[in-house]
Each structure stands twice: as C-alpha cells, then as structure tokens.
C-alpha cells in the first residue's frame, strides 16, 4: 500500500508531512527491532522508553517511512502527528484495509466479567453454527488457532493484523480501560459495545474512579453507524452510561431487575449451578447455567441479550447456556480425595472475591477457606477492601504472595502482616510462599470444606512461581498426582 493512502486516513491527527515521495509500504511496525525493508515505523512515546530514540535503528533496518510526534528531519519520508498511538491505530486499520468492517465485532468493557462474557458469547455463536474469533486475557483465538496473549487488549497493530487474518464471521474482544486510554482500538469499528460493571480497580493507572469510568465510556466512540450498546444496569455506573449513550443517540439495550429493561432477570436459584428466569418481550425463558455464582447469572444474561440482538433464537441460546463448559481459571474446581473442593478463580477485586465466597457458601460448605494475595505496586487502595471482604465471608483465610511486580519480597511480607493485623478480624494468617500455602491447605483439607484460591487464572504472565508449576491449578493437580502416587507406593 502507498504511503499517501495511509496518510489520507490519519485525519486530524496529521500535523506535518515533510517529503513528497510516496513509497510502497510492505508493513507497519511500532518496534524498531521488527522493522523489515519497506516498512512504515511508528515511533511511540512509551511509558518506559521513548520510541523516537529508535528511529535511526528503524531506518537502518530498512524503514521506508516514519511516523512520530517530534520535529525531525529524516532521510526517509517523515509524518509528524499529534499523537503517535492514535495515528498507529488509524494507519494500521488503513494498511490492513479496515478489517473490522468485514466482521460483526463485539467489544466488551467493564471491571469484571469481560473474559467470561466473551467465552459465553463465543460458545453461543458456535452453538448456532457461526464462527467467532476471540481476543482477551486468556487467549487470542483466530480461525480456531490459539495465540498466546500479550495483553487483555492487544496493541492497535496486533488487533488490526489479527482481525485481518480472521475468516470468522464474528469477533469478540475484551476492551480494557488501559487500551482505551492508549488508543489501542483506534481504527476499529464495533457493532456491539457491551458494558458489564465498574468497581474499584486499576486506580494505580487511573487517578480517580471517575477517570476510570470515563475511560470505559471511550469505547462507544468506536461504534459503527448502525451499532448498539448492551449495558448491565445492575449498578449506578450502568445507569450513568445509559444516559451518556442516549445523549449520543446510540441505541441501548439493558439488563436489570426491573420491567423497564430489555431483559429482566428474576427468580434466581443458586445452588451449585444457577437457575433463573429471563423475561424478554413478554416471554419468560427459564435458564440453567452451570457456572456457579450470582455474577455468572449476570454474565449469562448479558450474553443472552446480545445474542438475541444478533438474531440468534432464544431456544438455541438457552441450550447453549446449559452446556457452557466454563472459562479457564474462573471458578475451576479440583476435587480433593478426602472430599474437599478446591477452587481456582481469577478474582482480584473486592466484588469478585465476594461473589466467589458467596458461591462457595451456596454449596453449603462445612467451612470456607480462602487463599489470596496482592499484586505488587498495583492498586494499593483496594487491598484493605479485599481483606475485609474475605474476613467477613470466609471462615479463615491465608494471605500469600501474588505477583510482586515492582516491590521486594520483604516489603510485601511486611505489608501482608500489617494488613492482616489491621483488617483480618483474627481470621487471617500469612504464609508468604504461595506454593507452601496451597500445599498446607491441601494436606489439611477435610470433607465438605471449600478452599478458594484467588487472583490467578491460567495466564502465564501473571505467574511468580519458580517451581514446580506455573499456576495455582497446576500446583493443585501436581499435589493430587503426588498424593495418588504416594498412595500407590504406600
Ligand atoms: C503501562 C502500559 O500500559 N504499557 C503498554 C504500552 O507500552 P509502551 O508503548 O509504553 O512501551 P515502552 O516499553 O515504553 O516502549 C515504547 C515504544 O518503544 C518501542 N521500542 C522499544 C525498544 C526498542 O528497542 N525499540 C523500540 O522501537 C516499543 O516497541 C514501543 O512502541 O503500550 C504497549 C502496546 O500497546 C502495551 O503492550 C504496554 O502494556 C504493558 C505490557 C502492560 O503491562 N500493560 C498493562 C498495564 C495493561 O495494559 N493491562 C490491561 C488490562 C488490565 C486488566 O484489566 O487487568 C490490558 O489491556 O492488558
Ligand atoms: N459479572 C461479574 N461481576 C463481578 N465479578 C465477576 C463477574 N464475572 C466474573 N467475575 C469475577 O471476576 C473474575 C474475573 O472474571 P473475568 O476474567 O471474566 O473478568 P475480566 O473483566 O476479564 O477481568 P480482567 O480484565 O482482569 O481480565 C472472575 O474470576 C470472577 O471472580
């Protein structure tokens, strides 16, 4: 593609174009190390490092043109822009010929539930005989091929490239607030924009919860003309978003507990699996959903309403929900030979912990134990609330290491001790070594107990383990195998 073709799409982000050569571009890169002859290099002012420092390297590697924010004279055509991240999205979309226009694209934002709702939607769509790509925290899946994720929402370049490879009719993608602030979905066009909920999280990145909410609303700047929103109005943020979207004249379909909503949830019965009714258009649909917990009722309801709007029949959706296999690392159960149940769950907010502990209680557990920790520098303000939730709803809990992420073992150990003393209500203790904490729980597990281990799904990049496994689930499976072996040998 010619450089001028890309330039046409930069719109108001273009500041200055300093060369009238028009090279044919063979690719786009934002990392100088990946530049091949004929590529367009986009220099990003990063959080860690300034990409403009690598322009010479990019040119030495054969860059045919460069986009950047600084005032520069270069030996190749240089396009100066106001914001390189924004320009990157637009340029990548142009280069890959606007791939999102060829698919029905569903963006999902919110604090919790994005991964779960995306998996439920993919399952429903496939049940209805349709194909669906998925981009999110656990994996990127395109044409049934699984790629290891770099982020919850990939960078703009990767999004456009992956979607351009997709032969699937639908694309479901998780849209994080980080991604929205960093223009990672610039150049993407959405058919449906889903909002799950908002709660205390990522306040290390967003100065206030208002800023966090505002970032979430940015997703709706990327709707196709005929696009619509599906909003959970089970909380105040959903109500606020509803007003904002109506002011923008974006059609909103909502879920809630009242008849004013397009989908009304009622008659919830939680006992391991979830049974509940959905009222839509004067018809009641009784549903069974195998993933435990009230939060999963909400997730299933969001997916139900979205699927109906897509045009899938409620009968097909009902059947699909009943056979939903669950999401890796979300309330995954591992049975203990003595009759206890271990659960691995990715809960890392106060709300998520409460939903999970409530779901364990629904099973009439003899005792509910909880093992969890905190990520290093991230979100220090939410730790107190997570401990309070656990102290209020579990019978006992263990604080342990999670990702240390920027702080030392000693600092984290002291923090766990101090937080436990202040907010643990004498129910907590600290075992810093996570593997040891899990092993200790495994060895002491008794019939009827539920032991919830939260904070880590299967995502490898979250791992802080050295040995012998890379996730909480693998640790449990390893202990189980070890115990079975010991039994055989004994
Ligand atoms: C803090 C943050 O959000 N950083 C994101 C940001 O990185 P950055 O562009 O600032 O990276 P940088 O290292 O400063 O590099 C600047 C530029 O120099 C370039 N470079 C660098 C070295 C070199 O030799 N040559 C070169 O050209 C780099 O390719 C880059 O373009 O832009 C990158 C591209 O989009 C992201 O991958 C990266 O996410 C990092 C890995 C990250 O950890 N982000 C987290 C906080 C995040 O985004 N999380 C959310 C979900 C959160 C949740 O819900 O739990 C997510 O969507 O994943
Ligand atoms: N609708 C919901 N409301 C509150 N908590 C939820 C909801 N759905 C899931 N959870 C809890 O949050 C955890 C993370 O769920 P999920 O991975 O679906 O969310 P996410 O938005 O993708 O999270 P992240 O952005 O951090 O990857 C789950 O393991 C569960 O404990």
- Are residues 284 and 239 part of one domain? yes
Mean pLDDT of 338-349: 93
Summary mean pLDDT of the chain: 92
Asked which of 18-22, 120-124, 457-461 is least confident by mean pLDDT, the reply is 457-461
Who's near 319: CB < 8 A, 6+ residues apart? 127
In-domain check, residue 383: yes
- Are residues 215 and 152 part of one domain? yes
- Are residues 210 and 103 part of one domain? yes
In-domain check, residue 429: yes
Q: What CATH number is attached to the domain comprising 274?
A: 3.40.1190.10
In this prediction, residue 379 carries a pLDDT of: 79
- Are residues 310 and 347 part of one domain? no
113 CB less than 6 Å from ligand 2? Answer: yes
The pair of structure tokens assigned to 102 is 């060829």
462 CB less than 6 Å from ligand 1? Answer: no
Give the number of the atom of ligand 2 that is nearest the alpha carbon of residue 345: 29
Q: Which ligand is nearest to the CA of 185?
A: 1
Q: What CATH number is attached to the domain comprising 23?
A: 3.40.1390.10
- Are residues 205 and 307 part of one domain? yes
* Residues 249, 243 contacting (CB under 8 angstroms): no
In-domain check, residue 159: yes
Cα of 472 vs its chain's centroid, Å: 19
Q: What CATH number is attached to the domain comprising 359?
A: 3.90.190.20
Of 73, 95, 117, the residue at which a domain comes to its end is: 95
| Ordered alpha helix ranges (H), 96-176 | 114-127, 156-165
Q: In which region does residue 194 sit, left (phi positive, over 0), alpha (psi from -120 to 50) or beta (all else)?
A: beta
Of 95, 118, 149, the residue at which a domain comes to its end is: 95
- Give the Cα separation of 261 and 254 in Å (integer): 5
DSSP-based three-state secondary structure for 59: helix
- Are residues 151 and 119 part of one domain? yes
Q: Which ligand is nearest to the CA of 175?
A: 1
- Are residues 254 and 231 part of one domain? yes
Of 95, 124, 141, the residue at which a domain comes to its end is: 95
- Are residues 231 and 111 part of one domain? yes
* Residues 59, 66 contacting (CB under 8 angstroms): yes
Core vs surface per residue 160-171: b (16+ CB within 10 A) or e = bbbbbebebebb
- Are residues 318 and 345 part of one domain? no
- Are residues 164 and 140 part of one domain? yes
Tens of pLDDT along 102-159?
999 999 999 999 999 999 999 999 999 999 999 999 999 999 999 989 899 999 999 9
Residue whose Cα lies nearest atom 27 of ligand 2: it is 137
Q: Is pLDDT above 90 for 233? A: yes
Tens of pLDDT along 468-487?
456 788 888 888 888 777 66
- Give the Cα separation of 192 and 180 in Å (integer): 16
- Give the Cα separation of 32 and 38 in Å (integer): 13
In-domain check, residue 203: yes
- Are residues 353 and 366 part of one domain? yes
44 CB less than 6 Å from ligand 1? Answer: yes
Which pTM does this prediction carry? 0.93
155 CB less than 6 Å from ligand 1? Answer: yes
Q: Is 110 one of the annotated binding-site residues?
A: yes
- Give the Cα separation of 66 and 79 in Å (integer): 6
Looking at the structure of the chain, the number of domains it has is 3
HEC profile of 279-338: EECCEEEEEEECCCCHHHHHHHHHHHHHHHHHCCCHHHHHHHHHCCCCCCCCCEEEECCC
In this prediction, residue 462 carries a pLDDT of: 47
Mean pLDDT of 413-432: 96
In-domain check, residue 393: yes
In this prediction, residue 468 carries a pLDDT of: 45
Give the number of the atom of ligand 1 that is nearest the alpha carbon of residue 150: 37
Who's near 57: CB < 8 A, 6+ residues apart? 32, 33, 35
- Are residues 126 and 169 part of one domain? yes
216 CB less than 6 Å from ligand 2? Answer: no
The pair of structure tokens assigned to 308 is 């109906």
177 CB less than 6 Å from ligand 2? Answer: no
- Could you tell which of 110, 116, 455 is best to mutate to test the pocket of ligand 2, judged by most ligand atoms within 8 Å of the CB? 116
In this prediction, residue 480 carries a pLDDT of: 85
In-domain check, residue 407: yes
In this prediction, residue 473 carries a pLDDT of: 85
Q: Which domain holds residue 54?
A: 3-95
Tens of pLDDT along 47-103?
999 999 999 999 999 999 999 999 999 999 999 999 999 999 999 999 999 999 999
Phi, psi of 95 (to 5 degrees): -60, -40
The pair of structure tokens assigned to 34 is 């990946």
In-domain check, residue 175: yes
CA dihedral 111, 120, 318, 296 (to 10 degrees): -40
Tens of pLDDT along 391-416?
999 999 999 988 888 889 899 999 99
112 CB less than 6 Å from ligand 2? Answer: yes
In-domain check, residue 327: no
DSSP E strands in 83-153: the ranges are: 104-109, 132-135, 140-142, 145-147
């Amino acid at each position: 593609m010619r450089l001028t073709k890309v330039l046409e799409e930069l719109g108001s982000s273009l500041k200055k174009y300093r060369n009238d050569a028009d090279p044919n571009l063979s690719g786009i890169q934002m990392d100088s190390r990946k530049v091949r002859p004929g590529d367009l290099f986009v220099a990003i002012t990063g959080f860690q490092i300034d990409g403009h420092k690598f322009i010479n390297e990019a040119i030495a590697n054969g860059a045919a043109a460069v986009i950047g924010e600084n005032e520069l004279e270069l030996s190749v055509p240089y396009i100066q822009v106001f914001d390189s991240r924004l320009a990157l999205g637009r340029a990548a979309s142009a280069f890959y010929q606007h791939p999102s226009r060829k698919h029905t694209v569903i963006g999902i934002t919110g604090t919790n539930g994005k991964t779960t709702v995306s998996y439920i939607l993919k399952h429903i769509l496939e049940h209805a005989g349709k194909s669906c790509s998925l981009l999110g925290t656990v994996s990127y899946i395109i044409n049934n091929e699984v790629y290891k994720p770099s982020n919850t929402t990939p960078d703009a370049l990767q999004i456009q490239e992956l979607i351009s490879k997709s032969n699937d009719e639908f694309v479901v993608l998780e849209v994080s607030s980080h991604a929205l602030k960093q223009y990672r979905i610039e150049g993407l066009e959405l058919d449906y924009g889903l909002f799950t909920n908002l709660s205390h999280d990522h306040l290390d990145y967003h100065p206030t919860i208002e800023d966090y909410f505002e970032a979430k609303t940015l997703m709706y700047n990327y709707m196709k003309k005929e696009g619509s929103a599906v909003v959970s109005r089970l909380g105040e943020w959903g109500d606020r978003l509803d007003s904002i979207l109506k002011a923008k004249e974006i059609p909103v379909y909502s879920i809630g507990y009242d008849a004013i909503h397009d989908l009304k949830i009622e008659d919830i019965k939680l006992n391991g699996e979830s049974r509940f009714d959905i009222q839509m258009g004067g018809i009641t649909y009784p549903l069974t959903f195998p993933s435990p917990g009230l939060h999963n009722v909400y997730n299933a309801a969001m997916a139900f309403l979205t699927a109906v709007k897509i045009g899938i029949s409620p009968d097909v959706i009902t059947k699909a929900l009943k056979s939903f296999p669950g999401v890796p690392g979300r309330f995954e159960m591992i049975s203990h030979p003595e009759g206890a149940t271990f659960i691995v769950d990715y809960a890392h907010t106060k709300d998520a912990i409460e939903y999970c502990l409530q779901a364990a209680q629904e099973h009439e557990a003899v005792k509910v134990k909880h093992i969890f920790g905190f990520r290093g520098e991230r979100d220090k303000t939410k730790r107190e609330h997570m401990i309070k939730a656990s102290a209020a709803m579990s019978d006992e809990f263990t604080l342990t290491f999670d990702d240390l992420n920027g702080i030392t073992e000693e600092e984290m150990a002291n923090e766990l001790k101090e937080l436990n003393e202040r907010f643990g209500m004498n129910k907590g203790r600290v075992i810093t070594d996570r593997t040891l904490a899990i092993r200790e729980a495994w060895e002491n597990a008794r019939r009827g107990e539920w032991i919830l281990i939260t904070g880590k799904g299967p995502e490898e990049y979250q791992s802080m383990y050295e040995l012998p496994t890379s996730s909480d689930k693998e640790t449990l499976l390893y202990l189980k195998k070890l115990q079975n072996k010991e039994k055989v040998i004994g």
